[in-house]
């Protein structure tokens, strides 16, 4: 397994110097040679060699599974072969070929020609056969594959298997799930017998199946208080929400619902009576407070306030329209479409009080067409905010810090240039390009490494030890995120 960190990849290259790596066909790969890619800012990984003339004619690599679990079936196959060699048993181990299911979905272990057969399901692509009598002995399921609850209620135990990272390889563990939980063992601690797989957990099995059947009927004793049903729990939450929001109408309606529940023949929880009494007392105190406030308002002499004269909104000055039209033409010639849109808004606002002439309408319509056709160009004025370029000096019009840019006209007063000159904006854009871009967020691999450094409150795994489930428990990940 290729290390993910750059410093670990350097040690990996030195350790396996002179070795070659190939895209495995048992993993659904193409069989071409691979090379290692070292990165500092992202995860290191394998990559295909540059295509040669012979590789171009071949079909592209169709391998889709590229995580650390994609080759677990090969580690399981090797562990099964070592198990046969340890106990000096004659047999064979085979992995399923790619087809309707991914390659290695099933690993078959068989003793001799008529011996016991153990089927290991690495994923849920091929469903196990739980109907046979020897299902508990001869079926092994990967730890992350779910099992039907009815099957768990019928079987006394279920064999599990999982792989966890161990340096540059993967370590195989075999477990037995019972009513007490799942106990994990090394393959060397297990054995293969005539009935199938045998683990040390079978020596002390509990007298009950893996999962208990839920009780159909629960008889309530007379002296036992009534339980809070989901209906009553929702009613209590609605009552509390109505009181917090001071909705008297909803509170009165909910009090009637409480009376209906209390009037039933079946006993009701004491919380309903308590919530009803508290709500009724709250309504009484609220009515008293309203009456007291009304009496104080009638006896108190109202204070007269002097009318406040608010300034009316200024109407656009029609005398500025020729200046806006001149600036609009100049902005269009310089392709400053952001300034042109602002000028069009001012001209349109003034036209509501003073209609435009025919020549002005033609100029405005022509400006809108030019903006619609050429406004998609990435202009400097639309890339730099005003607060960024205004403190800078302009080398074109010699405007100082805090001053606007102006364009000089041979005959007439200087016109303000909306958005600033390009020479004033270019240094800001160049400085922005030179700034290093920081990569935000947290990848799944980073979160997994951080979670392995703390203990797990669910399975009590210490720092550096894996959880009893693939990956990590949610409580362990949340502990890292809170830190």
366 and 398 in a single domain? The answer is no
79 and 38 in a single domain? The answer is no
Q: Is residue 98 part of a domain?
A: yes
Report for 9-18, 74-83, 91-100, 324-333: range of highest mean pLDDT: 74-83
Region 393-411 average pLDDT = 84
Q: Where are the beta strands (DSSP E) in 179-302?
A: 181-185, 191-192, 197-198
Instruction: Provide the pLDDT for residue 345.
Output: 84
132 and 186 in a single domain? The answer is yes
Q: Where are the beta strands (DSSP E) in 100-188?
A: 106-111, 117-121, 139-142, 158-166, 169-178, 181-185
Instruction: Provide the pLDDT for residue 158.
Output: 93
- pLDDT of 160 higher than 90: yes
User: What does DSSP assign to residue 121?
Assistant: E
Q: Is residue 26 part of a domain?
A: yes
107 and 190 in a single domain? The answer is yes
88 and 182 in a single domain? The answer is yes
236 and 355 in a single domain? The answer is no
Tokens of 371: 């903006």
The tens digit of pLDDT for each residue in 282-325 reads 888 887 777 666 666 555 555 555 554 444 445 667 778 888 88
Q: Quote the CA–CA distance of 389 and 404 in Å, as a whole number.
A: 10
Look-up of token digits 């406004």: 375
By the 8 A CB rule, do 210 and 177 touch? yes
163 and 96 in a single domain? The answer is yes
Instruction: Provide the pLDDT for residue 482.
Output: 63
- Which helix (H) or strand (E) covers residue 369, if one does? helix 358-374
428 or 48, greater pLDDT:
428
Q: Is residue 437 part of a domain?
A: no
Question: Which region holds residue 480: left if phi is over 0, alpha if psi is between -120 and 50, else beta?
Answer: alpha
User: What does DSSP assign to residue 189?
Assistant: G
By the 8 A CB rule, do 93 and 77 touch? yes
By the 8 A CB rule, do 159 and 80 touch? no
Region 349-372 average pLDDT = 83
The tens digit of pLDDT for each residue in 168-212 reads 678 999 999 998 889 999 999 998 888 888 999 998 888 888 887
What 207-210 contacts at long range (C-beta under 8 Å, 24+ apart), as own/partner pairs, is 208/156, 208/179, 209/152, 209/153, 209/154, 209/155, 209/156, 209/179, 210/152, 210/153, 210/155, 210/156, 210/157, 210/158, 210/177, 210/178, 210/179
- pLDDT of 247 higher than 70: yes
Q: Is 404 exposed, middle or buried (0-12, 13-18, 19+ CB in 10 A)?
A: middle
By the 8 A CB rule, do 77 and 95 touch? yes
Percent of the chain exceeding pLDDT 70 equals: 78
Instruction: Provide the pLDDT for residue 373.
Output: 58
Q: How confident is the model at residue 377 (pLDDT cuts 50, 70, 90)?
A: very low
Report for 22-31, 285-294, 307-316, 419-428: range of highest mean pLDDT: 419-428
359 and 348 in a single domain? The answer is yes
Give, rounded to a whole angstrom, the gap between the first and last alpha carbons of the chain: 30
Task: Choose among 183, 199, 192, 27: nearest CA to 119.
Answer: 192
By the 8 A CB rule, do 85 and 109 touch? no
Q: What per-residue string of b and e applies to 209-245 under the rule 16 or more CB within 10 Å gives b?
A: bbbeeeeeeeeeeeeeeeeeeeebeebbeebeebbee
Which of 186, 204, 222 is a domain's end point? 204
Residue 126, helix vs strand vs coil: coil
Phi, psi of 24 (to 5 degrees): -65, 130
105 and 184 in a single domain? The answer is yes
Other CB atoms within 10 Å distance of the CB of residue 275 = 20
User: What does DSSP assign to residue 468?
Assistant: S
Q: Is residue 479 part of a domain?
A: no
Instruction: Provide the pLDDT for residue 173.
Output: 93
- 114-118, 403-407, 456-460: least confidently modelled range: 114-118
What residues make up the domain containing 184? Answer: 72-204
Q: Is residue 27 part of a domain?
A: yes
Which of 379, 394, 418 is a domain's end point? 379
Q: Is residue 173 part of a domain?
A: yes
- pLDDT of 221 higher than 60: no
40 and 163 in a single domain? The answer is no
Residue 213, helix vs strand vs coil: coil
Q: Is residue 443 part of a domain?
A: no
Report how many domains make up the chain: 5
165 and 79 in a single domain? The answer is yes
Q: How confident is the model at residue 376 (pLDDT cuts 50, 70, 90)?
A: very low
Q: Is residue 165 part of a domain?
A: yes
Percent of the chain exceeding pLDDT 90 equals: 8
Q: How confident is the model at residue 454 (pLDDT cuts 50, 70, 90)?
A: confident
The tens digit of pLDDT for each residue in 331-353 reads 887 767 777 888 888 888 888 77
The tens digit of pLDDT for each residue in 435-448 reads 766 555 556 667 77
Handedness of CA 430, 436, 437, 438 (dihedral sign): negative
Q: Residue 33's beta-bridge partner residues?
A: 22
By the 8 A CB rule, do 195 and 184 touch? no
Which of 169, 204, 239 is a domain's end point? 204
277 and 398 in a single domain? The answer is no
Phi, psi of 320 (to 5 degrees): -85, -5
């Amino acid at each position: 397994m290729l290390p993910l960190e750059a410093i670990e990849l350097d040690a990996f290259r030195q350790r396996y110097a002179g070795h070659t790596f190939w895209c495995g066909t048992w993993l659904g790969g193409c069989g071409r040679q691979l090379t290692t890619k070292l990165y500092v800012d992202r995860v290191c990984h394998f990559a295909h060699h540059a295509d040669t003339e012979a590789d171009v004619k071949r079909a592209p690599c169709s391998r889709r599974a590229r995580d650390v679990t994609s080759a677990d079936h090969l580690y399981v196959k090797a562990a099964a072969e070592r198990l046969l060699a340890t106990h000096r048993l004659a047999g064979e181990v085979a992995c399923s070929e790619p087809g309707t299911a991914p390659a290695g979905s099933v690993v078959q272990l068989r003793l001799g020609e008529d011996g016991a057969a153990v089927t290991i399901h690495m994923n849920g692509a091929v469903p196990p056969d739980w109907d046979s009598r020897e299902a508990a002995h001869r079926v092994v399921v990967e730890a992350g594959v779910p099992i039907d609850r009815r099957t768990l209620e019928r079987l006394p135990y279920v064999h599990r298997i999982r792989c966890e990272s161990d340096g540059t390889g993967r370590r195989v563990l075999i477990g037995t799930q019972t009513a007490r939980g799942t106990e994990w063992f090394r393959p060397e601690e297990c054995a293969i017998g005539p009935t199938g797989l045998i683990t040390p957990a079978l020596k002390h099995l509990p007298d009950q199946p893996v999962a208990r059947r839920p009780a159909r009927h629960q008889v309530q004793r007379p002296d036992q208080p009534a339980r809070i049903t989901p209906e009553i729990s929702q009613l209590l939450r609605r009552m509390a929400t109505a009181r917090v929001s001071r909705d008297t109408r909803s509170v009165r309606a909910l009090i009637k619902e409480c009376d209906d529940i209390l009037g039933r023949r079946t006993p009701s929880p004491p919380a309903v009576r308590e919530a009803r009494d508290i709500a009724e007392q709250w309504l009484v105190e609220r009515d008293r407070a309203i009456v007291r406030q009304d009496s104080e308002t009638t006896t108190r002499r109202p204070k007269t306030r002097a009318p406040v004269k608010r300034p009316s909104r200024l109407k656009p000055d029609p005398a500025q329209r020729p200046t806006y039209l001149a600036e609009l033409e100049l902005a269009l010639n310089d392709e400053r479409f952001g300034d042109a849109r602002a000028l069009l808004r001012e001209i349109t606002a003034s036209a509501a009080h003073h209609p435009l002439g025919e020549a002005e309408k033609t100029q405005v319509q022509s400006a809108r067409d030019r903006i619609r056709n050429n406004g998609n160009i990435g202009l400097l004025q639309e890339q730099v905010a005003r607060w960024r370029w205004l403190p800078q000096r302009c080398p074109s019009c010699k405007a100082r810090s805090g001053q606007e840019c102006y364009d000089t006209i041979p005959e007439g007063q200087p016109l303000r240039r909306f958005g600033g000159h390009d020479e004033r904006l270019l240094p800001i854009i160049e400085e922005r390009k030179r700034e290093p871009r920081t990569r935000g967020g947290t990848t799944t691999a980073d979160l997994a490494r951080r979670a392995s450094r703390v203990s797990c409150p669910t399975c009590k795994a210490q720092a550096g030890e894996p959880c009893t489930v693939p990956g990590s428990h949610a409580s362990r990940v949340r502990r890292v995120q809170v830190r």
